[in-house]
Structure 1
Amino acid sequence: MQKYATILSALRIDELNEMQLASIEANQQSDNVILLSNTGSGKTLGFLIPILERLDKNIPGTQALIVAPSRELAMQIEKVWKQMTTGFKITCCYGGHLRETEENNLLEAPALIVGTPGRLGDHIRRENIKTAGITTLVLDEFDKSLELGFQDEMEFIIESLPNLKKRILTSATEAVEIPDFVGLEEPAKLNFLTEGKSEALTLKYVDSEDKDKVDTLFRLICHLGSRPTIVFCNHREAVERTNGLLKEKGLTSVFYHGAMEQQERDAALCKFRNGTSNILVTTDLAARGLDIPHIRYIIHYHLPHNVETFTHRNGRTARMDASGTAILLIGPDEKLPEYINEEVELMTVPDNVELPEKPKWTTFFIGAGKKDKVNKVDIVGFLTNKGQLKKDDIGLIEVKDFFSFVAIRKSKAAVTLPLIQGQKIKNKKVKMDIAK
């Protein structure tokens, strides 16, 4: 454990868990490893440390490739790697990100590349990614990446790696067949999946008299109070409709799905993370890869189609040592899914409820980011100086490539905004406004 002390200190972790230690040992002994472990158990570190142990600072070019099914998961992996302060460069590639930016990042080939299948395949075809030196491949959440639609791209990527020596596959579900083109021979299999639900997860259900269920959802959220809550719907259209109806009823919610522009998605997640909104209405896109701590409630507004989806949705709460509650809304024509074997408690919601307390934060958009050499310290300095804010009035700051989001205490926002609009940050005049 002493060997990884610097990494653990950088990540503010006391020690590696049993699964992570087992993964490190298995990867030292085997070229092919399958790692099965529950969502939120720390799988990312379970494969990043084995990658780090294989990287050679004396070898130029890209040595390892990680394929993730969603841009959010890819970005989360990149974030953890950077926090590890390894000294090895990483580049993240995904759809919705400017290809020109990624091409510039790839000119000086990074030791590690992480990305989504479509964008990685595109860069390989354009020869932006030189594959000859890649000896290590990770397929994170491989069950999702290998679903129909990704198969052809995955096969192309793997066949484009002529000198592959090591493969690591991870998932939070076991029921998936691994295609031959992955080239997995005699893998070491680590299964840390716990049967049934997490001990910290409580399952409940609410009966709705109305088929639509929106009124029941509204009363349920009011009854739960202002704790961070994710509402899962099965379709994008339902996400926007449900979010709109909740807003009409006076709740502060944001929505998130795959058809949104990248900046809109970033803004929605940032508002949920920083407390501008305690309610996120989303598709199953948010069931994987999003690292949002302290989510208290999961509401299945639409019932999940299968046990894998149910598991991944619930994995957003009761992470690590925290507790959480998953609640299923059951309409008049619905019943509890057959794949739920454990006991589910009936929850009654009062007819008369009061709106929960409004969030105390709002989010500002600043049209400058990492590529403009702007960082969090610059933003705090700018807001305390030009915006006349105290540090306590500034919340979570997220700096992206070309823009940033910052949480401001709502009571100060109306006074601060006109003070900063038209001002320069890092000698550059940029757009500043309430984030849409």
Structure 2
Amino acid sequence: FLGSRKDNETTPTDRLSLYRIDSPIKDKLETLLALLHNLKPGLTLIFCNQRESVDRVRQFLTDRGIIAEAFHGGMEQADRERALCKFRNHSSYICISTDLAARGLDIPEVKYIVHYHLPVDFESFTHRNGRTARMHAEGEAFIILGPTEQMPEYATEATDFRIDPKADFLQTPPMATFHFAAGKKEKISKGDIVGFLTQKGKLAADEIGLIEIKDHYSYVAVTRDKAHETLTRLKNEKIKGKKVKISFGY
């Protein structure tokens, strides 16, 4: 399943391991949950074929206390940006998406691809898998098959993945995301935000993660275990002499 991508990279078989998992029933949610418990922490992209399925899978995981983001064309642009930001900055290890996330997005360090639904064709399969095993990194892709589904010809070399029912590698992501209601147009820079968080929020530099500044708002990753107390400290503080609303980036 060597395939080309528009950015002229390839996903070679020696860096991408492909596995199959059989779901005993048509509804694959419990099989997906078992798989996630078997994966060591890493960015995980789960692909569904319909927007409604993306929302359903996300709700299923959320109901079980698992932090997960949704990404599809039915969402507002700002909501899609927030979801990708939280995925990139490790506020969420899991993103469920349609094939909208299969191309052209800047999401480094994706470790796992899960084909919750079978790709519609080989090209879709290739582009989905192209989100991992990038820049000499290794990745793993999993195809979940329902009882009436057949493995596509282009994926018949997949290895059976054995679920360990006792495994529990799921972890709460290490970061949380703050939403600053100010951005480039308000002349807020990354340096301003770092200085504000270290001086007023009492965070160490290594407790601040990825900062993404948009036109009128910014997303900032901070260590999850310091997030609530930091937000409390910042409640009445000003950045560059201005009061800026800061909240969790839900």
TM-score normalised per structure 2: 0.94
1:369 matches 2:186: no
Choose the corresponding residue for 2:113, options 273, 298, 302.
298
Hey, what's the Cα distance between the residues in 1 that align with 2:149 and 2:246? Answer: 47
C-alpha displacement of 1:395 = 0.8
Task: State how far apart, in whole Å, the 2-side matches of 1:389 and 1:225 are.
Answer: 28
The secondary structure found in structure 2 opposite 1:339 is: helix
2:224 counterpart of 1:410: yes
Task: Give every structure 1 segment of 4 or more consecutive aligned residues whose post-TM-superposition deviation is greater than 6 Å.
Answer: none
CA-based RMSD: 1.8
1:98-113 residue pairs with structure 2 within 5 A? Answer: none
Deviations for 1:271-295, whole angstroms, at most 9, x for unmatched residues? Answer: 1111111111111110001121111
Aligned counterparts of 1:199 and 1:401: Cα–Cα separation in 2: 41
Partners in 2 of 1:290 and 1:346 — Cα distance?
Answer: 30
> Could you tell me which residue of structure 1 aligns to residue 20 of structure 2?
205
For structure 2, list consecutive stretches of 5 or more residues without a partner in the other structure: none
Cα distance in 2 for partners of 1:363, 1:301 equals 27
Structure 1 residues without counterparts, runs of 5 or longer: 1-36, 44-171, 173-192
Asked if structure 1 preserves the Cα contact closer than 8 Å seen for 2:41 and 2:169, the reply is no
Distance 1:198 1:421 in 2: 51
Q: Which residue of 1 aligns with 2:196?
A: 382
Instruction: Indicate yes or no: 2:69 matched with 1:254.
Output: yes
* Structure 2: distance between partners of 1:271 and 1:210: 32
Q: Which amino acid aligns with 1:392?
A: D
**Is structure 2 residue 238 aligned with structure 1 residue 430?**
no
Secondary structure of 1:363 counterpart: strand
Asked if 2 retains the 8 angstrom alpha-carbon contact of 1:251 and 1:355, the reply is no
SS in structure 2 at match of 1:286: helix
Q: In the alignment, is the contact (CA less than 8 A) between 1:240 and 1:255 conserved in 2?
A: yes
Equivalent residue of 2:153, what SS?
coil
Q: CA deviation at 1:253?
A: 1.1
Amino acid at match of 1:335: Q
Q: Which of residues 264, 268, 277 in structure 1 aligns to 2:92?
A: 277
Q: Give yes or no for contact 1:205–1:329 (8 Å, CA) kept in 2.
A: yes
Report the 3-state secondary structure (helix = DSSP H, G, I; strand = E; otherwise coil) of the residue aligned with 1:320. Answer: coil
- 1:232 corresponds to: 47
Structure 2 Cα separation of the partners of residues 376 and 243 of structure 1: 31
Matching residue within 381, 384, 398 for 2:212: 398
Secondary structure class of the residue paired with 2:229: helix
Q: 1:198-232 deviations in whole A, cap 9, x for unaligned? A: 43111110011021100000010110121111000
TM-score, length of structure 1 as denominator length? 0.55
Cα shift at 1:355: 5.5
Higher RCO (C-alpha 8 Å, min separation 6) = 2
Residue 39 of structure 1: aligned partner: 5
- Give the share of equivalent positions with the same residue, in percent: 48
Deviation larger for 293-302 or 426-435 = 426-435
> How many residues are treated as equivalent by the alignment?
248
Conserved in 2, the CA contact under 8 Å of 1:371 and 1:402? yes
Counterpart-to-counterpart distance in 1, 2:78 and 2:143:
31
In 1, the alpha carbon distance for the partners of 2:14 and 2:72 equals 30
| Bigger helix fraction | 1
Specify the SS of the correspondent of 1:433: strand
Report the AA paired with residue 224 of structure 2.
K
Q: Once the 2 structures are TM-superposed, how far is the Cα of residue 420 of structure 1 from its aligned partner?
A: 1.2
- State which structure, 1 or 2, has the greater radius of gyration over its C-alpha atoms: 1
Q: Equivalent residue of 1:398, what SS? A: strand
